[in-house]
Chain A
């Protein structure tokens, strides 16, 4: 693995991808009920366009974007709107959500939607179509994709970086996307290049997916200026800044966006879904999701409609094993813990992880022994040891000004390596929340 491009520092959590990496994705059955939160993305929540009693077809817009940094929501199954009410959200909050009783007699054919040929759309109008399809970044952050396609005018973009790293352990949904839909990925790249007005793209893939690297190389169109770049297997290789550092050898300035050094990063699954939206007219209503971990009886990769409740997924995957202990939306390093089985799957949910007791066991928290392992792990060169002390003492001003809390990506590498099991990234998350609260009060 040495000699491959990468970034400095980082950690090597056990990969555990072999549980599902060889399993082709299958279509998940439509559940009885779908719950679509109006907030599935970073930005302003969407505005509901339907009322209780309305009949909706699969693919209909049910909520429109409220402002530029927002995203539309589409019905992911045909049925009748039951209510719009506060519903448990994977973030832990109660969020206004559209509940739809799925019509058991419907064929679930998508309502046809007219979309122009992407080749005929003016470059600057492509992002409008992307917004219309409700596409957000599927790598985890769920940032509305059309915003990324409109970088600031004073920062010329040179390179489109397609993120196929999937550095989170266990997850294999991006891996399956590359294996099963390489042509969609390439069409998505063409559309993004056209929207950005550039010609060059690089696909970064961690070296633990040789089959994906091979397939992407084999299917690469001759007329496209694209390089498939294998990368060292190291967490968090898929973080935007780390991927850019590995491929371009440059650091995104502290506090700036990748466009500041001429790069735009897009996840492979996002690219594939942009292609699907243009080629078939299907908006973002479903995606490949990895259901895995040693706490679930039948792991696999599934194409699941958004809004399917966690309960239905667990049930369909054989239920919990006897030693199931934690449920996580996303990967084990940055994913969100869940306990309420009513929460729905969101656009950015790339994986549902059910960890067994052994997989997520933690030892007691011990005093910090100043071993410095957290400094050696931090991919953005912070001093988590000092930050932990400052956070504990609630010295927020120093934490922000001198310890650069804002530069922390909350990737969890420091917590992962800490031999004393100090929950560093959890403390930093809490400190940020507390600082926001103090600032507004």
Chain B
């Protein structure tokens, strides 16, 4: 006899309460203070640019996403918010919208949706914008007089050049690299966010707090930001000490997209390595590349490309950092790896 109320399921019969949906939305929640700060610093322009980018992501996911109900998992929302936060405040809205759509479509959906992509979709969107609109994405208008006035030409019509009628200001990185009179912005200003820059790149402290919250909840692998910071600090410190670069290590850590990239972009679970060992390699690679690009590249900022390049290496990192099977020695594993190599 059976009882109709009773279900048969396979073990384990209990599950951890944490879910992918909960992880995604907790990332969204942790970004709220960062978004609030960007509104505080840049006024209504911040709201508009972030909304445009989010709209681009959500609409694309809704129209072309393969999974049923895929907006509910929150991942498209994260991509939209993160992309928005990497854009300058005066960025034309149609470009932000297009960037979001491109990032979603070509950074995620064509790979098969959530969990399948190789590159961080927000950064794919930004890389596209960087390539398509190099001027707009590097135009940082000087802070306007009033909080409520727009920062530049947000409402530029599609395919028309945006008109920037206010004087432009340089970001701390741009200033130091390309400025006529290079100055190192004090770290405290960078930390608090009272400098020019993209929407979410300026307030290191809030990103740090958000990241720490996520790490505490277990929704972020802290090995990644830590290894990025360590390698950035060490590599840039070395170059600075040798007189090769003009970037002091602390300035390196707190300027540009470093904080946002290390805590929110590089830690994207889908596009980062599986093991902690892999995450250390991944983070070291990113830090190293950031310094190289910042010091010798043709761009003031290198976080985006550093992360994208390391994203591409993740499958190899995963293969090289397979865990050692319980009850086997490191020697056994080496032997087995060699055998596999010989076979393939």
Residues of A within 8 A of B (CB): 11, 13-14, 169, 241, 251-256, 311, 320, 324-328, 332-342, 353, 355, 359-360, 362-363, 366-372, 375-376, 378-383, 385, 402, 404, 407, 410, 412, 415-421, 423, 425-426, 429
Do A385 and B274 form a contact, CB below 8 Å, given A326-B9, A360-B14, A429-B10?
A: yes
Selecting from B18-26, B28-36, B95-103, the interface stretch reads B18-26
* Min C-beta distance of B75 to chain A, whole Å: 8
B2 touches A340 (CB 8 A): yes
A355: chain B residues at CB < 8 Å are 13-14
Whether B115 and A341, one on each chain, are in contact in the complex, defined by CB atoms closer than 8 angstroms, is no
Report the separation of the CA atoms of residues A71 and B78 in the bound assembly, to the nearest whole angstrom. Answer: 59
A254, A332, A339: which has the most chain B beta carbons within 10 Å? A339
The answer to whether B20 and A370 touch across the interface, beta carbons within 8 angstroms, is no
Closest to A410 in B: B11
A423 closest partner in B (C-beta)? B10
How far is the CB of B332 from the nearest CB of chain A, in Å?
8
Q: Does B73 contact A (CB under 8 A)?
A: yes
User: Could you tell me if A339 and B274 are in contact, using CB atoms closer than 8 angstroms?
Assistant: no
Q: How far is the CA of A340 from the CA of B115 in the complex (A)?
A: 39
B275 within 8 A of A: yes
- Using a CB–CB cutoff of 8 Å, the interface residues on chain B facing chain A are 1-3, 5-16, 18-23, 67, 73, 113-116, 221, 269-270, 272-276, 322-328, 340
B269, A372: Cβ atoms under 8 Å?
A: yes
Q: In the complex, are the beta carbons of B327 and A253 less than 8 A apart? A: yes
Which among B13, B16, B269, B272 has the highest number of chain A CB atoms within 10 Å? B13
| Chain A nearest CB, measured from B61 CB (Å) | 14
B20 surroundings in chain A (CB, below 8 A): 366-367, 369, 419-420
Cβ-defined contact, B11 with A333, below 8 A: yes
* B92 smallest CB distance to A (angstroms): 33
Residue contact A320 to B5, C-beta cutoff 8 Å = yes
Q: Once the chains bind, are B6 and A366 in contact (CB under 8 Å)?
A: no
The answer to whether B116 touches A367 (Cβ under 8 A) is yes
Complex Cα–Cα for A378 and B324 (A): 11
Select the residue from B6, B22, B23, B73 with max chain A CB neighbours within 10 A: B6
| Interface hub of A370, A412, A423 (most chain B Cβ within 10 A) | A370
Q: What chain A residues lie within 8 Å of B273 (beta carbons)?
A: 372
A11 to B9, CA, bound (A): 20
Partner of A169, one of B6, B14, B18, B221: B14
A419 engages B323 (CB within 8 Å):
no
Known: A339-B2, A341-B3, A359-B14. A383 touches B323 (CB 8 A): yes
Contacting pair B73 A366 (CB below 8 A): yes
Residues of B with C-beta under 8 A to A341: 1-3
In the bound complex, how far is the Cα of B264 from the Cα of A412, in angstroms?
Answer: 30
- Which 7 pairs show the lowest CB-CB distances between chains A and B? A412-B12, A380-B326, A367-B115, A254-B327, A426-B10, A372-B274, A337-B8
Residue of B nearest to A256 (CB): B327
Which residues of the partner chain B approach A407 to less than 8 Å between Cβ atoms?
325-327
Q: Which residues of A contact B23 (CB under 8 A)?
A: 369, 371, 419
User: Is A380's CB under 8 angstroms from B274's CB?
Assistant: no
Measured CB to CB, the closest approach of chain A to B218, in angstroms, equals 8
Nearest opposing residue in chain A for B221, CB measure: A372
Give Cα distance in the complex from A326 to B6, angstroms.
5
A323, chain B: closest CB distance, angstroms: 9
State the CA gap A328–B13 with chains docked (Å): 8
Please, which residues of chain A bring their CB within 8 A of the CB of B1?
311, 340-342
Task: Tell me the nearest residue of chain B to A253, going by C-beta.
Answer: B327
